Amino acid sequence: MKFAKSILCIGAGYVGGPTMAVIAAKCPECKVTVVDINEDRIRGWNSDKLPIYEPGLDAIVKQCRGKNLFFSTDIPQGIRDSEIIFVSVNTPTKTFGEGAGMASDVQYLERTARDILAHSRSSKIVIEKSTIPVKTAQAMENIFLSSPRSGVHFEVLSNPEFLAEGTAIRDLENPDRVLIGSRETPTGITARQTLVDIYAQWVPRERIITSNIWSSELSKLVANAFLAQRVSSINAVSALCEKTQADVREISRAIGADSRIGAKFLNAGIGFGGSCFKKDILNLVYLCRSYGLEEVANYWESVVKINEYQLGRFFSKMLKAMLGTMSGKRICLYGFAFKADTGDTRESPAKYLTHKLLAENAMVTISDPQANDNAKIDLAGYGEAIQYIADPLDAARDADALVVMTDWDIYRKIDYAQVFQKMRKPAFIFDGRNILDHKKCFELGFNVFPIGQQELTHLKYE
Ligand code: UDX
Ligand code: UDX
């Protein structure tokens, strides 16, 4: 079949895979190919068990794969055959040299730009999908200019992805907005229009925002910083609630009803995780510092500091509540993923907590409907101290404490009377997501420690 356009995506991860699946589904006249250096990942995308769990993804991939959606490891061929190339490789926090622990590591991005240059025989629109430091487009352009080939022009666009894991397909099919940045040159504006036309096949035109390329690059970092800032703000308030008999859920409801504030991202909890928030804020902080904006950098850095404080505070509270010792006690974690509806454990607060618990000589049971496999990889080497039991009722057996780490819906629906029966006494619940019926659990006999609310306990702490 002859396709109207050939689209390539380099990087078949949490962003590249779902995004391209939706483009393929919405634009049947386009051929969409996703390539990756990781053979296992590509094998996964071509199999019945996709490499990532995302509600609704299986159905879309099955519908399009082999028709106009293809997964391959042949990057050179993919580059040669396409007119539009999305770059969706990872840009983790740098672990070495200048900016280690803060700056974004853009080596894969540069390598990808070099690959594109080496294998292109015709002009390409190259789209930054990965989250990157502002001014990265210039670095890519400089690579492309380093060995010009006559008749081959590269136009770099920025089109950051705002999907959240767990709701990726919904976010892609019905985005609040699509942002496309370009150089404000005739070739830049033409390329931008090409991408606008692709999205306009399913996104209302008024939700497609165009801007200059630097605004687009920076908007992604700023969007994540604002979202994370809301979580840190409400988490900071939760600490004050615990001292003052105020209830953080009531505060969220009260302030969220103000349309200027809005109700979303006001759930207090054990702190944000995921591959983006911390990485993107630290990247923003590093950028500010590198431009000499120390006060601005410190402001954003405090968002990450409050996140660390919240988790540290949660752990200290657990230790104190459990009579000052966890040695030999079994702690059952309900959830290991960084949020519900994903198997992703990157920067999951559960990982941090598990390390703290093991350092106290506790035994840990991990129970997550999707993330147990990733947890095993993350915690390899701990042996007998950790057990993995997917069924939450079985996982609670002989536990001294339950800790709700992930807001999976199933944890709201379990029969906590049965759970209580299976546990050692005194039985504790630490609800790191504030999703349980605390009063009911207390009445069943649990000692309940929520976030930003008064604890409900049968024990005496003076
Ligand atoms: C990543 C970044 O973390 C995020 O900041 C950015 O917005 C998009 O890319 P994600 O899709 O979640 O997000 O990352 P990951 O699941 O690690 O996928 C990246 C893929 O790129 C991996 O499968 C990796 O094998 C691939 N890759 C990496 C290449 O194909 N070539 C490379 O040179 C490097
Ligand atoms: C985020 C952004 O939402 C998305 O736009 C961007 O493209 C990538 O980064 P993601 O990390 O997948 O998406 O999940 P998100 O829903 O934003 O949650 C991030 C973390 O914040 C999770 O650990 C979540 O549990 C936590 N969170 C979120 C809270 O603790 N409270 C809230 O009210 C909301």
Domains of the chain, each with CATH number or no CATH: 5-203 (3.40.50.720), 221-309 (1.10.1040.10), 314-449 (3.40.50.720)
Residue closest via CA to ligand 1's atom 25 equals: 38
Burial class (CB in 10 A: 0-12, 13-18, 19+), 307: buried
Output the six-digit token pair for 283: 């990247």
- How many residues comprise the chain? 462
Burial of 329: CB neighbours in 10 Å, binned 0-12, 13-18, 19+: buried
**Ligand 1 pocket, 108 CB below 6 A?**
yes
Q: 34 CB contacts (<8 Å, ≥6 apart)?
A: 8, 9, 11, 12, 16, 17, 20, 45, 69, 70, 71, 72
Cβ atoms < 10 Å from Cβ of 250: 12
For tokens 């759970």, the residue is 419
Q: What pLDDT score was predicted for residue 8?
A: 98
pLDDT of residue 2: 85
Q: Which pTM value belongs to this model? A: 0.94
Distance between start and end Cα atoms, the chain: 76
pLDDT at 381: 86
Taking the CA of residue 115 as reference, the ligand 1 atom at the shortest distance is: 33
Ligand nearest to the CA of 136: 1
User: Quick count: other Cβ atoms within 10 Å of Cβ 293?
Assistant: 14
- Taking each continuous run of H as one helix and of E as one strand, the counts in the chain are 18, 14
Question: Is the distance from CB of 139 to CB of 98 less than 8 angstroms?
Answer: no
Q: How far is the CA of 272 from the centre of ligand 2 (A)?
A: 7
Q: What is the pLDDT of residue 232?
A: 98
For the packed helices 16-26 and 57-64, what is the interaxial angle rounded to 10 degrees? 60
Ligand lying nearest the CA atom of residue 11 = 1
**Ligand 1 in reach of 401 Cβ (< 6 A):** no
The per-residue pLDDT for 382 is 87
Helical packing angle, 294-321 and 349-359, nearest 10°:
50
| Residue ranges in the chain modelled with pLDDT below 70 | none
Q: Say if residue 6 is exposed, middle or buried (CB neighbours under 10 Å; 0-12, 13-18, 19+).
A: middle
Residue 462's pLDDT is 79
User: In this predicted structure, what is the pLDDT of residue 318?
Assistant: 98
Ligand 2 neighbour 273 (Cβ under 6 A): yes
Ligand 2 centroid distance, CA of 148 (Å):
41
Instruction: Give the whole-angstrom CA distance, residue 235 versus residue 52.
Output: 30
Give which of 150, 152, 155, 203 is closest to 179, Cα–Cα: 203
Among candidate residues 9, 30, 241, 276, the one labeled active-site is 276
**Residue in 276, 307, 345 to alter for ligand 2 test, most ligand atoms within 8 A of Cβ:** 276
